[in-house]
Amino acid sequence: MDLKVQVSYFPLDQVRNEPYEEATFPFVLEGEFAYIVKFLFFNDSNGHEELFNDWSLAGNQIPIHSLAEIYDFQQQEYEELFKQYNIEFNYIKGSQKDTVFVKAVLQASEQFRSYYPYLYANGCMMNVSLWSFNGDVFTIEEREHDVTHPITPLVKLKWNANTPIVTLTKSSTVFWVGHDGDFITGISNHPSFATIKDLQGIMPSGIELVEEDDEWD
């Protein structure tokens, strides 16, 4: 095995799902979800790229759908990439005045490989970066949010903003680049996510999964 990947499971009963400051994710999960798995990378800082590029090929996951919230100043760079690799995309109004959501459909492995570094880097900027296997599960809806820092504990103001919604189906698997890119979370209903042993069975060659608290060589 060439790459070790730490894995841990997040308890479903601890998911805080509505859009507010303490929410588990910067998006709303709808539908049923059976497994939430965090992937961490120990001995290779670029291991995440190797894993997810190879995984997309090994499981024949194309087309892959993605959703990212980016700043206005990033649009030109993204559009140049999309034009270069002939990637289908569209914009939706973002959650802030200076952001937009970009949905892209990756129809070939070369497209995913070219776009993945952008998704990851965007997640490292604390922006929403998601992609899915087995269909488009992403929508944007206007939802009510609590103001992060209310004027007083007794006066809690609210505001409306476009909010990413992830609606899982029985076959859905979604990946989210965690805050600062320190980890990537998989959310799935697929039985291959049930245990680390099951996950290992669908890993590309050269990937070894270990429990997060295992001692590393």
Between CA 145 and CA 137 the distance in angstroms is 22
Query: In the chain, what are the domain boundaries?
Result: 3-210
- Residue 60's pLDDT is 72
Cβ contacts of 153 within 8 Å, gap of 6 or more: none
Cβ contacts of 13 within 8 Å, gap of 6 or more: none
SS (H, E, C) 51-78: HHHHHHHHCCCCCEEEEEEEEHHHHHHH
Query: 130 is written with which tokens?
Result: 């998601």
List strands edge to edge, sheet with 28-30.
28-30, 158-167, 138-146
Per-position pLDDT tens, the chain of length 217: 478 888 999 999 888 876 556 678 889 998 889 999 999 875 556 778 888 888 877 667 889 999 999 999 999 999 999 999 999 999 999 988 999 999 999 999 899 999 999 999 999 888 999 999 988 999 999 887 665 555 555 555 676 878 999 999 888 899 999 887 888 999 999 999 999 999 999 888 888 888 876 443 3
Of 176, 142, 148, the closest CA to residue 160 belongs to 142
Assess contact for 130 and 68: CB atoms under 8 A: yes
Q: Does residue 63 have a cis bond before it (omega within 30 degrees)?
A: yes
